[in-house]
Amino acid sequence: MTDTLNGFMEKHKGILDKELKNRISKLDTPSVLKEAMAYSLEAGGKRIRPLLLFAVIDSFGKNPDSGLSTAAALEMIHTYSLIHDDLPSMDNDDLRRGKPTNHRVFGEAMAILAGDGLLTYSFQLIAEDQHLQAAQKVELLQLLSKCAGPEGMVGGQVADMEGENKKLGIDELEYIHTHKTGKLLTFSVLAGAIIGGADSKQREYLEQFSHHLGLSFQISDDILDVTGDEELIGKPVGSDTGRHKSTYPSVLTLKGAKEHLSRHIEEAKKALDHTHLNTEVLSQITDLIAYRTH
Amino acid sequence: MTDTLNGFMEKHKGILDKELKNRISKLDTPSVLKEAMAYSLEAGGKRIRPLLLFAVIDSFGKNPDSGLSTAAALEMIHTYSLIHDDLPSMDNDDLRRGKPTNHRVFGEAMAILAGDGLLTYSFQLIAEDQHLQAAQKVELLQLLSKCAGPEGMVGGQVADMEGENKKLGIDELEYIHTHKTGKLLTFSVLAGAIIGGADSKQREYLEQFSHHLGLSFQISDDILDVTGDEELIGKPVGSDTGRHKSTYPSVLTLKGAKEHLSRHIEEAKKALDHTHLNTEVLSQITDLIAYRTH
């Protein structure tokens, strides 16, 4: 990791973590709910989505303050999706990032409610933001609800469930991932474009960028499930193949999956070049996501 | 029921039901998710919240079209809360309005996702509405997320769970109900004020109205749990007391609860009078809610 990227990440993670803590602590709600929400928010996530958002805003030369509520909302929605995915009736996971999952600590009912609370609160954060104009808020809320809801993440999660124990082709697999993981990454990038004030061309290229980045993210996730270090990834290696989930390596072989990954990264970076923005940090974050070790 | 009220309810229920059907059917998402979402939306709800909203808009002499997306959003959020409340880890109910609960038909995982989908989609409906101005949308989304989230309905649900098997006083009971049921009813009324264009005085009185209406709603619910007809209310009579939940009759006696109810209705109607709006339908809906038999 370069010094520039390192500095960028440390600074923005610091701002975000402070904001998340602050937003939960000031909630007027039963303390056990705050604890359950905070537990998963503070369970060591890599903050990839907020960092992406901040990197896009940065490429427009804008101040991170303008994106802070949206970054916090993004991390909350991502966290809610993990809490619900881990539930006994869903993936039934005991560990997440090496720590007991939310329902293992707070019980299933509270985990469902902590997820519901995080999802709903995330819309409140954007709607109440002081730095954005009404039209920007509406555009952000429109896009976020679409990317997170039935036509986005929730739809992808359903398709994933339906596809379990079935042999899926590469197209079906890409459909699942563009929705389950991709849409929220797309939102991270396009929210940055809305807040940064992108023109229509820039926005189009950033959309292409986010599409390839989203797929890269999922392919590298699947590769890690085969090659990763259990202690680093925080869940048993091979846990996806063990449950008969189709993965990129199982469909394309490990070598094929790695080639597929390289192609998407290349396309992602090409799209960035077309924006004529200062995308150095954004490009480095792309490599970080694609070639991460956990 | 008067002819005026009857006509009002039939007309607006018709508009709403068509909108809900339409909004689900046009979703680009796996069909099983659409089915699960539609199943609970179409399971015979009384549409109290949308009707309240329409009645407030009507009292300003405004067209129902301006409130249609918000009405659909309200019913979706209400429905999501019922689906999640009924889950095995929560209230573990097999029946809702006399029909098998969502998870009994679609399984627990799909029920969780149908709830998540309805909640998220409801924000999308308001954000995408064509009749409202950006500033109105932001105000509606702000209020809805606050009323439905950790400081509203979700918080009330947590407090309710925490209070189970404990002997609660009237203050704690009112805290639970103003949050679990009251906040969404408050939103129904205040959303009507926002869409109708209320001045600050009218808004204040409508807020008072909704406070008393919300409590009336819950008290009558508790009374029904003691006196109701099982076939009409769609769940076993006494199911709340059977699970050692504190209820208004158990804290105040049945007679006391009925007196408490009358007082809140009286206050609700006083507040309506102060608005100097045409609140005849709204007043009749208040009676309908308070003195309903199921």
Give B-chain residues touching A154 at CB under 8 angstroms.
29, 33, 113, 116-117, 120
Q: Please identify which residue in the block is written with the tokens 């999501």.
A: B80
User: What CA–CA distance (Å, rounded) separates B132 from B125?
Assistant: 11
State how far the alpha carbon of B2 is from the alpha carbons of A18, B47, B281, in Å.
57, 18, 10
Q: Please identify which residue in the block is written with the tokens 């999922």.
A: A218
Nearest Cβ partner of A127 from B141, B150, B155? Answer: B141
**Beta-strand pair B99-100/B95-96:** antiparallel
State how far the alpha carbon of A160 is from the alpha carbons of A166, A245, A247, B113, in Å.
10, 9, 11, 12
Three-state SS sequence of chain B = CCHHHHHHHHHHHHHHHHHHHHHHHCCCCCHHHHHHHHHHHCCCCCCHHHHHHHHHHHHCCCCHHHHHHHHHHHHHHHHHHHHHHHCCCCCCCCEECCEECHHHHHCHHHHHHHHHHHHHHHHHHHHHCCCCCHHHHHHHHHHHHHHHCCCCHHHHHHHHHHHCCCCCCHHHHHHHHHHHHHHHHHHHHHHHHHHHCCCHHHHHHHHHHHHHHHHHHHHHHHHHHHHCCHHHHCCCCCHHHHCCCCCHHHHHHHHHHHHHHHHHHHHHHHHHHHCCCCCHHHHHHHHHHHCCCC
Whether residue A110 and residue B161 make contact (CB cut-off 8 A), yes or no, is: yes
How many CB pairs lie under 8 A apart between chains A and B?
153
What ipTM, to 2 d.p.?
A: 0.93
Confidence of residue A84 (pLDDT cuts 50, 70, 90): very high
CB distance A90 to A156 below 8 Å: no
CB distance B157 to B180 below 8 Å: yes
CB distance A260 to A219 below 8 Å: yes
For the segment B242-257, the average pLDDT, to the nearest whole number, is 81
Other Cβ atoms less than 10 A from the Cβ of A273: the count is: 12
Give B-chain residues touching A28 at CB under 8 angstroms.
151, 155
Nearest Cβ partner of B120 from A127, A149, A159? Answer: A149
Contact map slice: B 74-103 vs A, CB within 8 A = 84, 87, 89-90
A130: closest CA of chain B, how far (Å): 12
For the segment A216-235, the average pLDDT, to the nearest whole number, is 77
Inform me whether the pLDDT recorded for B243 exceeds 60.
no
User: What CA–CA distance (Å, rounded) separates B269 from B279?
Assistant: 9
Residues of the domain holding B221: 3-290
The more confidently predicted of residues B190 and B218 is B190
Q: What is the pLDDT of residues A115-131, one digit of tens each?
A: 999 999 999 999 999 99
B237: contact with A, CB 8 A cutoff: no
- Can you say whether residue A278 is alpha, beta or left, with left for phi > 0 and alpha for psi between -120 and 50 degrees? beta
Which pLDDT value is given to residue B241? 53
Strand, coil or helix: A170: helix
Torsion angle of alpha carbons B269, B4, B214, B278, nearest 10°? -50
Whether residue A158 and residue B33 make contact (CB cut-off 8 A), yes or no, is: yes
Within 8 A by CB and 6+ apart from B14, the residues are none
N-term to C-term CA, chain A? 15
- The number of angstroms, rounded, from the C-alpha of B115 to the middle of its chain's C-alpha atoms is 15
B4: closest CA of chain A, how far (Å): 37
CB distance A73 to A123 below 8 Å: yes
Q: Which residue of B has its CA nearest to A34?
A: B150
Inform me whether the pLDDT recorded for A236 exceeds 80.
no
- Residue A96, beta-bridge partner list: A99
Which pLDDT value is given to residue A291? 83
Within 8 A by CB and 6+ apart from A110, the residues are A32, A33, A36, A102, A103, B158, B161
Q: Which residue of B has its CA nearest to A83?
A: B112
For the segment B190-200, the average pLDDT, to the nearest whole number, is 98
Amino acid at A292: R
Number of independent structural domains in chain B: 1
CB distance B94 to B100 below 8 Å: yes
State chain A's maximal CA–CA distance in angstroms: 52
Which pLDDT value is given to residue B80? 98
Which pLDDT value is given to residue A172? 83
Other Cβ atoms less than 10 A from the Cβ of B39: the count is: 21
User: What CA–CA distance (Å, rounded) separates A192 from A179?
Assistant: 19
B288: contact with A, CB 8 A cutoff: no
Amino acid at B279: T
For the segment B168-195, the average pLDDT, to the nearest whole number, is 92
Q: What is the pLDDT of residues B124-181, one digit of tens each?
A: 999 999 999 999 999 999 999 999 999 999 999 999 999 888 888 878 888 898 999 9
Other Cβ atoms less than 10 A from the Cβ of B1: the count is: 11
Contact map slice: B 171-210 vs A, CB within 8 A = none
Q: Which residue of B has its CA nearest to A138?
A: B127
CB distance B82 to B184 below 8 Å: no
CB distance B135 to B75 below 8 Å: no
Which pLDDT value is given to residue B233? 54
The CATH code of the domain that includes A197 is 1.10.600.10
Burial level of B38, CB count in 10 A (0-12/13-18/19+)? middle
Whether residue B117 and residue A89 make contact (CB cut-off 8 A), yes or no, is: no
Confidence of residue B281 (pLDDT cuts 50, 70, 90): very high
Confidence of residue A244 (pLDDT cuts 50, 70, 90): low
Q: What is the pLDDT of residues B61-113, one digit of tens each?
A: 999 999 999 999 999 999 999 999 999 999 999 999 899 999 999 999 999 99
Q: What are phi and psi of A96, to 5 degrees?
A: -145, 125
**Which spans in A87-182 are helix H?**
102-106, 108-128, 134-148, 153-163, 170-177
